[in-house]
Amino acid sequence: MNLILWRHASAEDAPARDNDDDLGRALTKRGRKQAVIMAAWLNARLPAEYELLVSPALRTRQTAEALRARFRIVPELAPGAAAADVLGAVNWPHSRGTVVAVGHQPTLGIVASLLLSGAQNSWAIKKGAIWWIVNRDREEGAQSVLRAVVTPDLA
């Protein structure tokens, strides 16, 4: 399985307290540029068939739209989601294809930490960045391998 964790690009500042307002935050001009840059990087490397899963938040949908592919909104990727919910939504490690999950911090950083170190830590994933993690079976068992980490300023 290929799992690509894609943090949404730069968005408007968070509201003081209303979660509904948080879900409606849009990308900034900088964020739209970041999304386009990362989508171009991904489009050059993604297989022809992949699944694109997106948080219900506007900023994640706008980030994913840069790929110009169909996506499915998945509540388990919403802000504040648990790592276990994300892994269940992407069917880790059982999916045989590639899944791109567009979500939020700190959840995506926790998912990356869990898959790569076996512990839930708060790893930072920059806005707009992708972490590409591969699950593979070996004689000694399943392994999670970090294939790539790319930020918009390096793509």
* Residue ranges per structural domain of the chain: 2-150
pLDDT at residue 19, as a whole number: 57
pLDDT at residue 67, as a whole number: 97
pLDDT at residue 14, as a whole number: 77
Residue 31: enclosing H or E segment and its boundaries?
Answer: helix 29-43
Are the C-beta atoms of 88 and 76 separated by less than 8 Å?
yes
pLDDT at residue 70, as a whole number: 96
Q: Which CATH number does 2-150 carry?
A: 3.40.50.1240
**For residue 79, is the peptide bond before it cis, meaning its omega torsion is within 30 degrees of 0?**
no
pLDDT at residue 137, as a whole number: 82
Q: From 4, 56, 57, 3, select the one nearest 26 (Cα to Cα).
A: 57
Q: Residue 141 carries which side chain, given as an amino acid letter?
A: G
pLDDT at residue 140, as a whole number: 77
pLDDT at residue 21, as a whole number: 79
The residue ranges of the chain whose pLDDT is under 70 are 15-20
Q: What angle do CA 5, 11, 14 make, to 5 degrees?
A: 110
Are the C-beta atoms of 72 and 51 separated by less than 8 Å?
yes
pLDDT at residue 20, as a whole number: 56
Q: Residue 90 carries which side chain, given as an amino acid letter?
A: V
